[in-house]
Amino acid sequence: MNDLMKKIDNDVEFKQIIKEIITNDTVLQMKKFRQHFETSCFDHCLRVAFYSYLLCKKYNLDYKAVARAGMLHDLFLYDWRKKDASRKGLHGFTHPKYALQNASNLFNLNKKEQDIILKHMWPLTIKFPKYKESYIVTLVDKYCALSESYVVCSKKFFNKKIYRYAYLFLSVCVLKFI
């Protein structure tokens, strides 16, 4: 995350676009909730927003919309690991609606930003995204979720002696055959 923070810190335009969002008290509450393993919802959204912004800038797409909506796409504001009778349905399917509701209460979102937030779990949620930018965020979101999970899982994996030896053994076997 540190390298990413440096890159974000050097990107004046990105910081300007998301300034009103990341200084909002409700948005800052995302720091209290874990999204994937050690990553908070806030940091996860920041990653998704920044990578989506870079991609859209490169391909002449609406980088402002993905930066804003990326930052808000998981603004559901609850611990999804804890059951709560007031929430109906599975988190994976329902949280985009909560995030959109919360985000719409705080900011004026255009149609594209709304679509990005609401469809970011596609294809889990069946309705197809309407915009190229929405597809970018769905892909970047999955990439970030995987990389945030991979870091922790690989640490756990290599911490176990048996796996370390198994890995070494397999590496030696592979090297012998190439």
Q: Which is nearer to Fe ion, 17 or 75 (CB)?
A: 75
Q: Which of 74, 113, 133, 148 binds Fe ion (CB under 5 A)?
A: 74
Q: Among the candidate windows 12-20, 58-66, 71-79, 130-138, which touches Fe ion by CB under 5 A?
A: 71-79
Residue 40's H or E segment, with its range, is strand 39-40
For residue 62, state whether it binds Fe ion (rule: CB under 5 A). no
Q: Give whichever of 101 and 171 is closer to Fe ion, judged by the CB atom.
A: 101
Residue 141 makes contact with Fe ion by CB under 5 A: yes
Nearer to Fe ion, 61 or 71 (CB): 71
Q: DSSP per residue over 80-120, as a string?
A: TTS--TTS-S-HHHHHHHHHHHHHHHHS---HHHHHHHHTT
95 CB-near residues (< 8 Å, 6+ apart): 74, 76, 80, 121
With contacts defined by CB under 5 A, name the span among 60-68, 104-112, 139-147, 159-167 that binds Fe ion.
139-147
Q: What are the C-alpha distances in Å from 75 to residues 4, 7, 17?
A: 21, 23, 17
As a whole number of angstroms, the distance between CA 126 and CA 75 comes to 20
Residue 115 sits in the site that holds Fe ion (CB under 5 A): no
Binding part of the chain for Fe ion, among 22-30, 69-77, 150-158, 170-178 by CB under 5 A, reads: 69-77
